[in-house]
Amino acid sequence: MRAVKTKNTAPELRVRSLLHGLGYRFRLHRKDLPGTPDIVFPGRHCVIFVSGCLWHMHECRRGKLPASNVTFWREKLERNRRRDQRVQTQLQDDGWRILIVWECETKDKGQLTRRVQTFLEQTVRD
Ligand SMILES: [Zn+2]
């Protein structure tokens, strides 16, 4: 298995294209923010992470640990999870709202549209 691919993954591109289609403006991979969020809406103070189910231990079929090298994977993925939690706490402390979109949730366009719209429209524009 390859190293973690964090940018411009297929699920992330699906989310970006959907957001474009809805007319939202956003920035990508802001390195000055904790965790380099995938998609950033500076005016709304919102960020979206598009997370791979395996790498970020989603509780779904795709998030299951690989059958071999279980100890290695568990430690590696637990480190990812702890880092995710640390990053999310830092962002929230700085006043950012966070939406996690899981890889497995990017296939259903209708449902994804409702989720991102609900999330983004809760935010007061400045
Ligand atoms: Zn999943």
CA of 118 to the centre of ligand 1 (A): 20
Query: How much distance in Å is there from the Cα of 119 to the middle of ligand 1?
Result: 19
- Tell me the CA–centroid distance for residue 125 and ligand 1, in Å: 31
Dihedral angle sign, alpha carbons of residues 32, 34, 39, 44: negative
Please tell me the pTM assigned to this model: 0.88
CA separation for the pair 73, 35 (Å, rounded): 21
Measured in Å, residue 27 CA sits from the centre of ligand 1 at 24
The backbone torsions φ and ψ at residue 115, rounded to the nearest 5 degrees and listed phi first, read -65, -50
Q: Return the SS3 of 39.
A: strand
Amino acid 105: pLDDT: 95
Tell me what pLDDT residue 2 has: 46
How high is the pLDDT of residue 8? 84
pLDDT of 124 reads 56
pLDDT values of the chain reduced to their tens digit, one per residue, 126 residues = 444 556 788 999 999 999 999 999 999 998 999 999 999 999 999 999 999 998 898 999 988 888 899 999 999 999 999 999 999 999 999 999 999 999 999 999 999 999 999 999 985 555
CB proximity list for 20: less than 8 A, separation 6 or greater = none
Cα 48 from Cα 29, distance rounded (Å): 10
- The first and second tokens of residue 62, run together, are 């795709």
Cα 76 to Cα 32: distance, rounded to the nearest angstrom:
25
pLDDT of residue 5: 55
Q: Which amino acid is at 85?
A: Q
Q: What is the pLDDT of residue 1?
A: 41
In the structure, ligand 1 is a single-atom ion and the residues with CB under 5 Å from it are 53, 58, 60, 62, 102, 104
Residue found under tokens 């007319």? 23
Centre of ligand 1 to C-alpha 105, Å, is 7
Record the tokens describing residue 44, joined without a space: 């709304």
DSSP 8-state secondary structure symbol assigned to residue 63: G
Q: Are 58 and 101 in contact (CB under 8 A)?
A: no
Structure tokens at 16: 């970006």
Distance 126 CA to ligand 1 centre (A): 33
